[in-house]
């Protein structure tokens, strides 16, 4: 087996297209997971059992079923109910929804980690509930959980190749298509593997540095 640099050069335009889709899916999926995860966490703290129970059932179901099954359900089953989205939109929603059930637990830990004295001080100052959360609790909770949320971003990056199964041509999808068309697998798949390392490893180092800074 010989390494074919010409194949690498031919594949690179496809790689950049796939990288753009990968980063787009990652960014939008992260936003959905962060926002929806916070919503889940706040709803789970409501005193009303009829709110907590359905949220708990939904999040447990999503967290305990494979992301691949959820992708297939949204992409192949919903159209039978006349609910249709593009492949990329379906992938973004699936990733965001799936990981929101994990970020929910991160937010819950951050909220529970806020010292009791902060809650008591807000009560003593007669702060409205909304202001207590917005100005006192959430800023402290989010600061504590930023590194953990970053770890889930890296996990989402590693799961983006699953979007290939619903026809989204992210990085691995582009590599697979190129390989099948040109019967060259080594070069494109190696490029994809290196790309994931070059993205995820520096990101993990950055998260460690951020964690050390935040815990000071």
pLDDT tens per residue across span 169-193:
999 999 999 999 999 999 999 999 9
Give the span between the Cα atoms of 198 and 200, in whole angstroms: 6
Contact 171, 19 (CB under 8 A): yes
State whether the Cα torsion 55-57-62-63 is positive or negative.
Answer: positive
Q: Give the residue among 83, 143, 151, 79 at the shortest CA–CA distance from 111.
A: 143
pTM to 2 decimal places: 0.90
Q: Estimate to the nearest angstrom the gap between the alpha carbon of 10 and the chain centroid.
A: 31
- For 84-101, how does the pLDDT look when each residue is reduced to its tens digit (9 = 90+)? 999 999 999 999 999 999
- For 5-61, how does the pLDDT look when each residue is reduced to its tens digit (9 = 90+)? 888 999 999 999 999 999 999 999 999 999 999 999 999 988 888 989 999 999 999
pLDDT of residue 123: 75
Task: Count the helices and strands in the chain (H runs, E runs).
Answer: 9, 0
On the CB side of 82, CA atoms within 13 Å amount to: 0
């Amino acid at each position: 087996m010989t390494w074919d640099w010409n194949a690498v050069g031919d594949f690179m335009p496809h790689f950049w297209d796939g990288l753009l889709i990968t980063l787009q899916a990652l960014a939008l999926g992260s936003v959905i997971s962060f926002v929806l995860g916070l919503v889940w966490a706040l709803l789970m703290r409501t005193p009303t059992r009829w709110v907590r129970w359905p949220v708990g059932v939904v999040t447990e179901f999503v967290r305990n079923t494979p992301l691949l099954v959820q992708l297939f359900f949204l992409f192949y089953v919903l159209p039978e109910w006349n609910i249709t989205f593009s492949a990329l939109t379906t992938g973004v929603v699936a990733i965001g929804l799936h990981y929101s059930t994990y970020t929910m637990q991160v937010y819950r830990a951050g909220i529970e980690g806020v010292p009791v004295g902060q809650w008591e001080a807000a009560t003593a100052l007669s702060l409205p509930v909304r202001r207590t959360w917005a100005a006192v609790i959430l800023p402290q909770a989010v600061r504590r959980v930023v590194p953990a949320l970053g770890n889930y971003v890296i996990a989402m990056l590693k799961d983006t190749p699953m979007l290939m199964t619903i026809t989204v041509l992210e990085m691995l999808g582009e590599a697979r298509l190129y390989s099948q068309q040109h019967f060259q697998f080594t070069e494109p798949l190696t490029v994809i593997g290196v790309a994931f390392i070059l993205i995820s490893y520096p990101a993990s180092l950055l998260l460690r540095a951020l964690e050390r800074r935040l815990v000071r």
